[in-house]
Structure 1
Amino acid sequence: MSESPNTILVRRLYDSGMAPEVTAEIIAPDLVWDITPGFPHSGIYHGWESVSRDFFGNLMPDYESFSGHAEQFFAAADDHVVVLGHYHAVSKAGAEADARFIHLWTVRDGKLTHLRQAADSHVVREVLNG
């Protein structure tokens, strides 16, 4: 069975490593980025500029490295894609951890408009404590 156009779109974001030319093309200007409470720098961000500056700009300095790895993609309804995967985090002190995530994407008119994230926030926070 072939992937839905929405699943292909979401997979493209992960496969690109969120490359700037890809995000510029597929992320909607009115993006809503919803990070689960308890996760570092959790909250709701509006627009890619805010996500880049206020979420990633605050998250990335806390870690030596932090990356998300998508493992499975599921089309859900006409406008949603569910992604299962894990984050890999390395603290400044060298501690490492992997934490599972679920991302629920909403797609509208060929653009990613909403991310709702749930993750094992405890594991991600623990790596910061060394």
Structure 2
Amino acid sequence: MSNADLIREHYAANDRGDLDGMLAPFAADIQWTEAAGFPYAGTYIGPAAVAENVFGRIQEEWDDYTVAIDEVVDGGDVVVGIGTYSGTYKGTGRFFAARVAHVWRVADGEIVAFEQFTDTELVNRALRDPSTGSATQPSS
């Protein structure tokens, strides 16, 4: 399996809602970086940290959150996924859609690093209450 195929498999697991499949190719010390300004900004180390601080929060805080990848660019040990994020934030009921690029780094058949690039302002608009302009917490 090529590195690009490994990334495609991650995206396919995401599309199925298969968290174990999404995490399977991650190295034990994966460095996962969410863009500055994104609601989950920061670098998380290890699959459990990514599952809790990114995937878990997305599931709890958003309705119909999707990552639709249009293209996977095979650069060998560096693979880029290009697509669109979309979803509705539960705290405001506001929808967003934003283009995204993911940069994946693969070594010895494992994903060792991930970095996200997206228009964080489009995401953050969905978090803000239109009447106050302040970010809100999702309702449970």
TM range (shorter): 0.7 to 0.9
Query: In structure 2, do the counterparts of structure 1 residues 64 and 23 end up closer, same or farther at CA, with 3 Å as the change threshold?
Result: closer
Q: Which of residues 84, 96, 102 in structure 1 aligns to 2:82?
A: 84
**CA deviation map 1:9-62 (0-9, x unaligned):** 100100111623323431111111011100002000000101111233334433
**CA deviation map 1:75-115 (0-9, x unaligned):** 12x31101101111112233211111100000111111100
* Distance in structure 2 (CA, Å) of the matches to 1:55 and 1:41: 6
Retained in 2: the 8 A contact 1:34–1:116? Answer: yes
What is the aligned partner in structure 2 of residue 33 from structure 1?
32
Question: What TM-score, normalized by structure 1, do the two folds share?
Answer: 0.87
Q: Does residue 1:7 correspond to 2:8, yes or no?
A: no
What is the aligned partner in structure 1 of residue 48 from structure 2?
49
Q: Cα RMSD (Å) of the superposition?
A: 1.8
Q: Secondary structure at the match of 1:102?
A: strand
Tell me the number of residue pairs that the alignment of Structure 1 and Structure 2 aligns. 126
Runs of 4+ in 1 over 6 A off after TM superposition: none
What is the aligned partner in structure 2 of residue 69 from structure 1?
68
Retained in 2: the 8 A contact 1:62–1:128? Answer: no
Question: What TM-score, normalized by structure 2, do the two folds share?
Answer: 0.81
> Structure 1 residues 63-72 or 104-113, which shifts more?
63-72
Q: Secondary structure at the match of 2:103?
A: strand
Query: In structure 2, do the counterparts of structure 1 residues 23 and 56 end up closer, same or farther at CA, with 3 Å as the change threshold?
Result: closer
Q: Secondary structure at the match of 1:16?
A: helix
Q: Which consecutive residues of structure 1, in runs of 5 or more, have no partner in the other structure?
A: none
